[in-house]
Chains A and B, each alone.
Chain A
């Protein structure tokens, strides 16, 4: 039976994709297989089996060390051919996006990256992704025999594991180590916040005139027990760290409450807040596009409105 094949170097993402692939596979009459590479592959295989993979292909081939895209793509292509898979879902991390494209080229396949929604319609997988810089959502199918999709992490629920276990297969792979060598690998600094998981966020934009004024936004965030977020512009000024950026080049958030302060509402930012349950906007320009997205809007000077709001919140 042809399969949907899952791979992500991120374990959570692999579990999430496997869990949902089970549903797609059911609707399409396919099986689900998954792939795990490296020293933890046995452990990961058990996890993915419990999340719905019928078969998990594992390899600890030393050529895969460092996860260089050329070698991982070749390994996956060999597994796809051996398994007879017709559809590959990869996590759309930076590494995964690069991988999906090289794999697709090896397989003569069409590919959709940065997929943010997916469903089976009329017997085909339909992928949604932001297009035109976030202005629109394109719904696309892939028309080649093998199809590759890179799906954004956290697009689906991870789901509860079951007692089920998939068959574990160790395929014989013919791999040559990459010419690319890892000299150093270190964690990024300032990656402590996970805005995607925040319940309340105060977003700041260019309406803040000076670096010192960021403190005002932080006070509002404290009063709301909210995280701080920002537009790309403020990170470019280095007034906030990169991990605070929300939008196309940053986090996609879905808080209960998003308070946009001094944010005009350019699409590059607002794609990151459209899933918020409630949006509040404070801006001095009554025609700012952010007000079209807001549930509650205040036209006014943030330097007057925000202190007044902090006071009311403390009182209530």
Chain B
């Protein structure tokens, strides 16, 4: 079984600061998406349970440099090889453009039995790329998987929807997105980190995939992207615990927020 797992390099959002309502991304480190690691982990487990197969990590970005460390990390976790689509035209690409690049790269690299993604990226979290890629490849899809088992010609997936748990069956090939509760991604050993550098990485540009700039053109326009303004009183209650508690109880009564 050949499993392709999409991974995205994201800015570490815990490190993003806000200055004059604008997010400051300078000096913010980049890391593999959390859900992408869950997807890699389940791919490795499926491969190892089957006793055969290949796990390919696939990443799409505007430049190679940003994804190198990301790919090294997932290769160290246990992916067998990596495919990269790097092209300046993919800077700030829309989900539609990313899906086009992924679908083409999957086809160019010989197709796959299972395409896995996180249900959303850590930064934009649009959750569109899995669905769009499934449509482009003409494949059935199952989103929000919390358990995947392979057997026979297909897969059985338990998925977590807003208010129900569904168990579904699908033939392969198929596209599946995963939620964080599916597993606890492994931390690679030092030995595997050393070995990761020797694993094969195939690189494509958009031209290599027969795509031009128009094929990955923008579909949305961002008018603004600012932190929300919060207008709060910011009254700090002073004194010992008893005084603070009394001041707060009085304030809550005065504000009229207690049930009368």
| A interface residue numbers (CB < 8 A to B) | 68-70, 73, 93-95, 97-102, 104-106, 109-114, 126, 130-133, 135-144, 178-188, 191, 199-200, 224-225, 248, 256-257, 266-268, 274, 277-280, 291-301, 304-305, 308-309, 311-313, 315-316
Interface residues of B in 9-66 (CB under 8 A from A): 11, 13-14, 16, 18, 21, 23
How many whole Å from A111's CB to the nearest CB in chain B?
Answer: 6
Partner of A105, one of B11, B99, B122, B242: B99
**A298 contacts B14, C-beta separation under 8 Å:** no
Q: Does B194 contact A (CB under 8 A)?
A: no
Q: Which residues on the B side are within 8 Å of A304 (C-beta)?
A: 241
**B228 contacts A297, C-beta separation under 8 Å:** no
**A111 contacts B235, C-beta separation under 8 Å:** no
Given known contacts A101-B132, A113-B126, A180-B142, A309 and B249 CB-to-CB distance under 8 angstroms: yes
**A279 contacts B232, C-beta separation under 8 Å:** yes
A-B interface pairs (CB < 8 A), number: 248
| List of 4 A-B pairs having minimum Cβ-Cβ separation, nearest first | A110-B219, A101-B131, A133-B13, A308-B245
**A179 contacts B259, C-beta separation under 8 Å:** no
Once the chains are docked, how many angstroms separate the CA of A267 from the CA of B162?
A: 22
- By size class, the interface of chain B is 35 or more
**A200 contacts B259, C-beta separation under 8 Å:** yes
CB closest chain-B residue, reference A275: B228
Partner of B134, one of A70, A104, A181, A297: A70
How many whole Å from B14's CB to the nearest CB in chain A?
Answer: 7
Q: Which of B69-77, B195-203, B204-212, B250-258 contacts A (4 or more CB under 8 A)?
A: B250-258
Q: Which residues on the B side are within 8 Å of A70 (C-beta)?
A: 134-135, 140-141
Q: Which residues on the A side are within 8 Å of B225 (C-beta)?
A: 131-132, 136-139
A-B contact pairs, 7 of them (CB 8 A): A94-B144, A100-B131, A138-B222, A143-B221, A294-B232, A304-B241, A305-B244
**B234 contacts A141, C-beta separation under 8 Å:** no
Q: Does B187 contact A (CB under 8 A)?
A: no
Once the chains are docked, how many angstroms separate the CA of A150 from the CA of B237?
A: 42
Partner of A292, one of B162, B234, B249: B234
Q: Which residues on the B side are within 8 Å of A109 (C-beta)?
A: 219
Q: Which residues on the B side are within 8 Å of A73 (C-beta)?
A: 131, 135
Q: Which residues on the B side are within 8 Å of A268 (C-beta)?
A: 13
Once the chains are docked, how many angstroms separate the CA of A167 from the CA of B221?
A: 35
CB closest chain-B residue, reference A305: B241
Partner of A110, one of B156, B220, B230: B220
As a 0/1 sequence over residues 95 to 111 of chain B, the CB contacts with chain A under 8 angstroms (1 = contact) are 11001000000000000
Q: Which residues on the B side are within 8 Å of A277 (C-beta)?
A: 257
Once the chains are docked, how many angstroms separate the CA of A136 from the CA of B225?
A: 6
Q: Which residues on the B side are within 8 Å of A298 (C-beta)?
A: 236-237, 244-245, 248
**B141 contacts A98, C-beta separation under 8 Å:** yes
How many whole Å from B93's CB to the nearest CB in chain A?
Answer: 12
Q: Does B124 contact A (CB under 8 A)?
A: yes
**A182 contacts B166, C-beta separation under 8 Å:** yes
**B170 contacts A97, C-beta separation under 8 Å:** no
**A143 contacts B245, C-beta separation under 8 Å:** no
Partner of B162, one of A94, A112, A296, A299: A94
CB closest chain-B residue, reference A292: B234
Partner of B245, one of A111, A112, A142, A305: A305
How many whole Å from A315's CB to the nearest CB in chain B?
Answer: 8
